Amino acid sequence: MKKYLVTFLVLVLLFLSSFANYPTKAVTIICPWSAGGGSDRIARVIANGLEEEFGKPFVVLNKPGGGGAVGHTAGAYAKPDGYTLTFVTQELATLHWLGFAKVNYENFEYIIQVNEDPAGVVVRKDAPWNTINDLLQDIKANPGKYKFSGSGPASVWDLSRVGMLDKAGISPSNVLWVPTDGAAPALVELLGGHVDVITCSIAEVSPQIKAGEVRALAVMSDERLSEFPDVPTLKEQGIDWSSGTWRGLAAPKGTPKEIINIIYQNMLKVVNKENFIDFMKKNGFGIKIRDPESFFEFVKKEDGEWKYLLQLGGYI
């Protein structure tokens, strides 16, 4: 009996020491989006930070395609040993409902959320509405008259519009959604007079707001943005709705909790460093930190909320 106990204790010590030495080789961070985009840029700053903390390479591998389906699927089905992580994004909550992928929030262990960007409601500088309620009353009185844009159909910015209108007691079908490849082309459509309103992150239209070319009537966050303190929230104006996109780091389901905690503790060092904070602020990315448990609960809640919005928008 004593012999078996000694053997067991040795195995336990070896097991624990293997985590203490993590990582012993390069770690891959899968980014489900193309190089150069917002998700890719944040992922690379994180990878550089983790490389500094651990002294081992952290390499970003871009796997775009299928509206995020390719990268999230690759990350979910990777070996759960801590050497393949995924920079998960909001689309994880909609991919499976839309039939683009089978993976969902249950396929990951969550490490840390690092970003959250609320949607904004943006109009041209000469638009006739001074407040969000002016716009919504006009939409309610004139169904089918106005056009919105911001990104593709069933995207986060489209569904943010759907939720806002629903909370205001207006059918989402009262306006036409004009799909584009993102906020940049949607902004061109707005400035050209081809659409009336765009919903996207305030960060994506920050230069045009500061230049006076467009106006933000509201932001879909719980509090006003520090960079744009004059833009009121929807909640301030009587519409109980907040919405936006988010990003964070996750690992395949079954990755040992010890590894998750080691990465999380080092990520706390990364996100509190001045270079990370400066990068996020200069590029207009919101910083939102959630620990593993809180991040999991948040994504679980998101999964149900986005399903409802997809149904409301007629996409499923």
Q: What is the pLDDT of residues 161-195, one digit of tens each?
A: 999 999 999 999 999 999 987 888 899 999 999 99
Cα distances from 146 to residues 30, 136, 139, 173, 282, in angstroms, run 39, 11, 7, 10, 34
Kind plus residue range of the DSSP H or E element containing 154 = none
Nearest to 249 by CA among 84, 97, 22: 84
pLDDT of 310 over the 80 cut:
yes
What is the DSSP code string of 180-203?
Answer: -SSHHHHHHHHHTTS-SEEEEEGG
**What does the alpha-carbon distance between residue 142 and residue 147 come to, in Å, rounded to a whole number?**
12
Cis peptide before 172 (omega within 30 of 0): no
- Tokens 């609960």, residue located: 297
Report yes or no: 176 and 161 within 8 Å, Cβ to Cβ.
Answer: no
Report yes or no: 256 and 15 within 8 Å, Cβ to Cβ.
Answer: no
Q: Look up the pTM and report it.
A: 0.83
Mean pLDDT for the stretch of residues 129-137: 97
pLDDT of 231 over the 90 cut:
yes
Phi, psi of 85 (to 5 degrees): -110, 165
Report yes or no: 259 and 82 within 8 Å, Cβ to Cβ.
Answer: yes
Chain centroid, CA 8 distance in Å: 44
Q: What is the pLDDT of residues 251-294, one digit of tens each?
A: 999 999 999 999 999 999 999 999 999 999 888 889 999 999 99
Q: What is the pLDDT of residues 59-108, one digit of tens each?
A: 999 999 888 999 999 999 999 999 999 999 999 999 999 999 999 999 99
Go through the domains of the chain in sequence order and give each one's CATH number. 2-117+245-312 (3.40.190.150), 118-237 (3.40.190.10)
pLDDT of 14 over the 60 cut:
no
Cα distances from 38 to residues 5, 18, 41, 66, 92, in angstroms, run 52, 35, 5, 17, 16
Task: Point out which residues pair with 219 in neighbouring strands.
Answer: 120, 233
What is the Cβ-side half-sphere exposure of residue 159, based on CA atoms within 13 angstroms? 25
Residue type, 144: G
Cα distances from 179 to residues 4, 195, 207, in angstroms, run 66, 11, 22
Lowest model confidence (mean pLDDT) among 16-20, 48-52, 98-102, 298-302 = 16-20
Mean pLDDT for the stretch of residues 301-311: 94
**What does the alpha-carbon distance between residue 166 and residue 162 come to, in Å, rounded to a whole number?**
6
Nearest to 316 by CA among 100, 170, 118: 100
pLDDT of 312 over the 70 cut:
yes
**What does the alpha-carbon distance between residue 63 and residue 66 come to, in Å, rounded to a whole number?**
10
**How many helical (H) and strand (E) elements, i.e. helices and strands, does the chain have?**
11, 10
Residue type, 283: N
